Structure 1
Amino acid sequence: MRIIAGAYKGRRLATPRGATTRPTADQVRIALLDTLMPWLPGARVLDLFAGAGGVGLEALSRGAAHATLVERDARAVGALRANVATLGVETAARVVRDDVARALSALARAGERFDVVFLDPPYDTDDVATTLTALGRADVLADDPVVVAQHLT
């Protein structure tokens, strides 16, 4: 996996070993981030079920001010932290190792607000509806946010 465009274009990203995560395909990331470009400059991005961080780190590469990357799988978090260090974005990216519901609660308590939210839960769960409900209740969305959910169709 690699960063496709922006300041870190071409930089390789580590991916976790094993089948516990599924990186968003390059074609999907290209379409997604190209579509989101009007909202990215200066945005605060929340990447839920972040895996190795392909979407959140790509958003930083394209001008987002900050990305919070939430992932609970230990191997994915290891790759995610390595990717943040490799890109040198430790001050612009925060890795949260936790369940999404608990992370949303903690972010709300801390007064965090996000302009762009991306969620890509495992396909074998019903976490899209559950996460969207939790996101709506958590009070972490900025005014006029953009929320994108990837799911199996």
Structure 2
Amino acid sequence: MRVISGKQKGTSLKSVPGHSTRPTTDKVKEAIFNMVGPYFNGGMMLDLYAGSGAMGIEALSRGMSKAVFVDRDRKAIETIYSNLKTVRCLEEAEVFKNEAKRALNAIKKKERQFDLIFLDPPYAKQTLADELAFIDTHNILLQGGYIVAEHSSKVLLDNHYKTFTQTKEERYGDTSVTIFKSVASEESI
């Protein structure tokens, strides 16, 4: 596993030991960033099921100013810190050991918003519908922002929400990547 592009291009990253995570392949990672970037001029990114932190690190390498990493697994948190040290991005990162729902509640209470949100829950615990509804209800995605949901191809997601709508879905074997983009508010029209 490595950083594909940007200022940290080619840097090797560690995977989380064991079988508790399913790393995003380089091919899928490149496709995702081509759909939502491929590069950024600052911004905040949330990696809700961070695993090794590879997606957030890729976003930082491609120009995001800050990334928030959340995972409930201690080994994942240790791996994220190790990878952030490798790419020298500790100052641009916040890392939290927490359950996704508790993390989203904390984000809501702090009224934080993000330009890019990456959701890749374990396939056995796909709760994307609940998380997408929560993000929508509490306006966690900034105007012009994207949500990337990586999920089992068997999982069907709603196309439209109040604050964002599905713009693309691609299948890669048993994995699907669904992209949502914020919709213009009536105030900005």
TM-score by length of 1: 0.94
Q: Which is further off, 122-131 or 69-78?
A: 122-131
The count of aligned residue pairs is 153
Counterpart of 2:151 in 1: which secondary structure? coil
Alignment RMSD, CA only? 1.4
Matched, 1:141 2:141: yes
Q: Counterpart of 1:20 in structure 2: which amino acid?
A: S
Overall identity of the aligned pairs, in %: 37
Mapped contact 1:101–1:134 kept (Cα < 8 A): no
Equivalence for 2:109: 109
Equivalence for 1:69: 69
Give the structure with the larger strand fraction. 2
Q: Relative CO higher for 1 or 2, CA cutoff 8 Å, sep ≥ 6?
A: 1
Mapped contact 2:38–2:62 kept (Cα < 8 A): no
Listed as ranges, the matches of 1:48-67 within 5 Å are 48-67=48-67
The CA deviation string for residues 6-64 of structure 1, in whole angstroms up to 9 with x for no partner, is 00011111111111011111100000012221673212111110100111110000001
- Give the greater-gyration-radius structure (CA): 2
Please report how far the alpha carbon of residue 75 of structure 1 lies from its aligned counterpart in structure 2 after TM superposition.
0.7
> Aligned in 2, Cα 1:87/1:54: closer, same or farther, shift over 3 Å?
same
Give the structure with the larger helix fraction. 1
Mapped contact 1:105–1:138 kept (Cα < 8 A): no
Equivalence for 1:78: 78
The CA deviation string for residues 99-124 of structure 1, in whole angstroms up to 9 with x for no partner, is 01111111222221101111011111
Q: Counterpart of 2:4 in structure 1: which amino acid?
A: I
Mapped contact 1:47–1:118 kept (Cα < 8 A): yes
Please report how far the alpha carbon of residue 140 of structure 1 lies from its aligned counterpart in structure 2 after TM superposition.
2.2
Counterpart of 2:146 in 1: which secondary structure? strand
Equivalence for 1:32: 32
> Aligned in 2, Cα 1:48/1:138: closer, same or farther, shift over 3 Å?
same
